[in-house]
Structure 1
């Protein structure tokens, strides 16, 4: 969340301060700290019209004795003999559940949400309806922590379009008691409605996310075998565990971030079944996700998209690759081997919302691919394989064209394998080096069928990395096996960047 900036014209500043144009001129000369007009007044200001940041003006007004009664309500000095406030009950608002507090300042409505512009929206709604509840100020949660408690965004019903930051401690002081706070995942109207001063913290189940529900729906689908269902359930459980841990962490942070604060933790997560079981055997999970990736069921598509975002290393393919498809290129040679197929969940993830000409599968590596058109040019989208077939053949050359291609002694051509979170490139990386591609080539020179591991790709032979760094783009470049072997035996001088 953030404080929304509102710009005020000269006339609006005069109205806020209750002064004439001449008085405003006098004020700007009397007070050295009076906010200066905006250098860039924005697209909605009239030509040559002076505009001010409304929040700056409102804050300045509150701390200036001559005008403090017109300034931001929660930034004005509090009286020494402040009487205690009183809880005034629960309220529904257009932006979420709220609690009211009758205070010496007037009624403060605290909306328990961190939605953008929530304070301003609720204040404006009240003002438009004649403010039937007599609310002076609306507060909403900023989303992080300040030194006196959760940070707040406030908007007064007298000027509902102007938002400003307020202190939780000030509101607590006006209320005369510690204020209740709910962690984000337990910030529901149902729970907040049950609260009253002195109430113990409610223990409530952390609700499932949309992602978790999607995975559980797929796990209940009899179209998937037991291995796939186990993989889906495992990720759903992991998501739920994360949400419970996150809620516990929020309570720890907001409850005691800077020592004791005027906060009452109003709800805690039910941990009686936490944590839910998750599998340690990655191979079993990978087998399950392979089944899902090759399925054509809509539940598989939705689940696979979640897995790509959460843990792509569980999936049976590597990094997404996009290349232009031109006649006579190595990519065009590879496409001749591809077999047309019906789309799977992996193809659906590749396609997204793009038009597709045809779906393919590589019969040697099971790599999913599709042909589409980008800016009028045919293009291929595919997931790189994690490994190449272990047929006893060896790497004879690599071709750099769109991605790294591997030619082999048995006459085949393959896109080079790559792990999901890496990329294969070459040339000048403005300080970065093509060590991922060098690590892949180094592995395949010794064993064409080996699975590549790029977790420490920066340890690739420096000679191979330097050779790839010298390769210019664009245009294909083929490097023969003997040149690659020679390069990896070479130790180039270290650059100042490496030192």
Structure 2
């Protein structure tokens, strides 16, 4: 994205401007705005490179175009354009290695506009033309910059005379040479078939937004009768949300890039295609509990599509899943975590296990029978085994209460009826303690505050910074690994006013 930079040595700069060494010396004294040289940027690929005086190629090429004496040697689209120029002639589309382009014959030669926003598109295509004889007589190649300029979408240009030098060009300048408004396609509708089919005066195409991979996965689940109906409804709901977002984002993109213009000067741009909104918006954001139930059943499934759908949900809306934050701790006999792992039950992997494992090698799969959380044992760094698991969102209470908290890699909750649990934590947070380099351990304080009141509480960390300041101060201290904080200690901290700082 954007203009790629290149540099010219003194000899190359003289060749570009058509001057001698003395002529170069004269330019520095004649023109106050003549670009100043710099030292060639450091390159890790050429560590023995000697210091050398170089010019930014884009800066020098642009200066030349705006200076009467050298305009004929400068950037083509930055030169002073002729007045009352004749309208250009559309030459149709041309396929390029970076996608289809539209060609226009103008008074300055053929302008090729490639509807692609990747880096070095203009340079790559201009270089290919120059090295292959430029049979189409293209004078400059334009590609999308990916931003908005004053007269329309911003462009990057590279002239076939100097293909390695890119510069930013104005959409309205190109439109002036062409003699008409130019089409622009939003990212999701920048399809080769649509660009190839466009002709001047064509009606704006109304096109269905293509489904992305995530939507395709969810639609497959929704159509698969081997899944529970609640899971299929949950997958449909999320797929509809993805489709709605993509249409809304595309419409917003069109509003930005195809705006009418500034003041009395209209932008010379029209959308080449717009999304089909016949059924927009699709129904989504249904009953939260029903959706959570559907995703819970998918998490327990063993079908590969359930795994793929769960990966989509983890990245898009993890709050719908019955799992908290991913946690990893070393396998250490004799520790508080060892007491917890002794109750784990070995099992066959489910979709939840597969998503938790990702591509890692796994030695064994487990489930916590008290919280239903998936757990796996896998090799960690240096070959040492680790436990990886989802933190629960809540704990089973059964009339018990929080007895103490142990600090060992994460927070561990000991209950009055003798059980040990990893502390609950929401998917987007993490539990820690000690000096946070200016940050505060408010997440841990908030979880403990809620569990002191109700051991079975479904923890909510949206406003964890509002946790009791005394508890936050307690967890902000540097405790030894394995330190145990009793219920009495925690309750006292919760009632303690914040420390003065």
Q: Tell me, yes or no, whether TM beats 0.5.
A: yes
* Match for residue 237 of structure 2 among 218, 234, 238: 234
Structure 1 residue 108: deviation in Å?
Answer: 0.6
Structure 1 residue 257: deviation in Å?
Answer: 6.7
Residue in 2 that maps onto 1:38:
38
Residue in 2 that maps onto 1:62:
65
1:382 alignment partner, SS class = strand
Residues in 2 aligned to 1:328 and 1:64: alpha-carbon distance in whole angstroms = 79
Checking the alignment, whether the CA contact within 8 Å between 2:39 and 2:51 is kept in structure 1 is no
Checking the alignment, whether the CA contact within 8 Å between 1:41 and 1:50 is kept in structure 2 is no
TM value normalised by structure 1: 0.95
> Structure 1 residues 463, 204: closer, same or farther in 2, change over 3 A?
same
Structure 1 residue 40: deviation in Å?
Answer: 4.7
Residue in 2 that maps onto 1:487:
493
Residue in 2 that maps onto 1:167:
170
* Match for residue 356 of structure 2 among 335, 344, 350: 350
Checking the alignment, whether the CA contact within 8 Å between 2:65 and 2:73 is kept in structure 1 is yes
2:258 alignment partner, SS class = helix
TM value normalised by structure 2: 0.95
Q: Give a deviation string over 1:16-44, Cα, whole Å, max 9, x none.
A: 22233443343334333332333352326
* Match for residue 332 of structure 1 among 323, 332, 338: 338
Residues in 1 aligned to 2:281 and 2:408: alpha-carbon distance in whole angstroms = 48
Residues in 1 aligned to 2:179 and 2:129: alpha-carbon distance in whole angstroms = 25
Q: How does 1:461-472 map to 2 (within 5 A)?
A: 461-472=468-479
Q: How does 1:134-153 map to 2 (within 5 A)?
A: 134-153=137-156
Aligned CA RMSD, in angstroms, stands at 1.7
* Match for residue 249 of structure 1 among 252, 255, 280: 252
Structure 1 residue 374: deviation in Å?
Answer: 2.4
Structure 1 residue 283: deviation in Å?
Answer: 0.9
Residue in 2 that maps onto 1:27:
27
Query: Does residue 428 of structure 1 match 2:435?
Result: yes
Structure 1 residue 267: deviation in Å?
Answer: 1.4
Residue in 2 that maps onto 1:303:
309
2:39 alignment partner, SS class = coil
Query: Does residue 365 of structure 1 match 2:384?
Result: no
> Structure 1 residues 258, 396: closer, same or farther in 2, change over 3 A?
farther
* Match for residue 460 of structure 1 among 464, 467, 476: 467
* Match for residue 180 of structure 2 among 177, 195, 204: 177
Checking the alignment, whether the CA contact within 8 Å between 1:38 and 1:52 is kept in structure 2 is yes
Residue in 1 that maps onto 2:7:
7
Checking the alignment, whether the CA contact within 8 Å between 1:72 and 1:156 is kept in structure 2 is yes
Query: Does residue 156 of structure 1 match 2:162?
Result: no
Residues in 1 aligned to 2:302 and 2:75: alpha-carbon distance in whole angstroms = 58
Residue in 2 that maps onto 1:411:
418
Structure 1 residue 494: deviation in Å?
Answer: 5.0
2:424 alignment partner, SS class = coil
Structure 1 residue 409: deviation in Å?
Answer: 1.2
Structure 1 residue 325: deviation in Å?
Answer: 2.4
Residue in 1 that maps onto 2:295:
289
Query: Does residue 225 of structure 1 match 2:263?
Result: no
2:339 alignment partner, SS class = helix
1:66 alignment partner, SS class = helix
Greater mean deviation of Cα atoms: 90-99 or 218-227 = 218-227
Checking the alignment, whether the CA contact within 8 Å between 1:97 and 1:188 is kept in structure 2 is no
* Match for residue 396 of structure 1 among 392, 398, 403: 403
Greater mean deviation of Cα atoms: 103-112 or 345-354 = 345-354
Gaps spanning 5+ residues in structure 1: where?
none
Gaps spanning 5+ residues in structure 2: where?
none
Q: How does 1:238-277 map to 2 (within 5 A)?
A: 238-256=241-259, 258-259=261-262, 260-277=266-283
Checking the alignment, whether the CA contact within 8 Å between 2:413 and 2:423 is kept in structure 1 is yes
For this pair of structures, how many residues does the alignment match?
Answer: 494
* Match for residue 321 of structure 1 among 327, 331, 349: 327
Checking the alignment, whether the CA contact within 8 Å between 1:359 and 1:371 is kept in structure 2 is yes
Checking the alignment, whether the CA contact within 8 Å between 2:140 and 2:159 is kept in structure 1 is yes
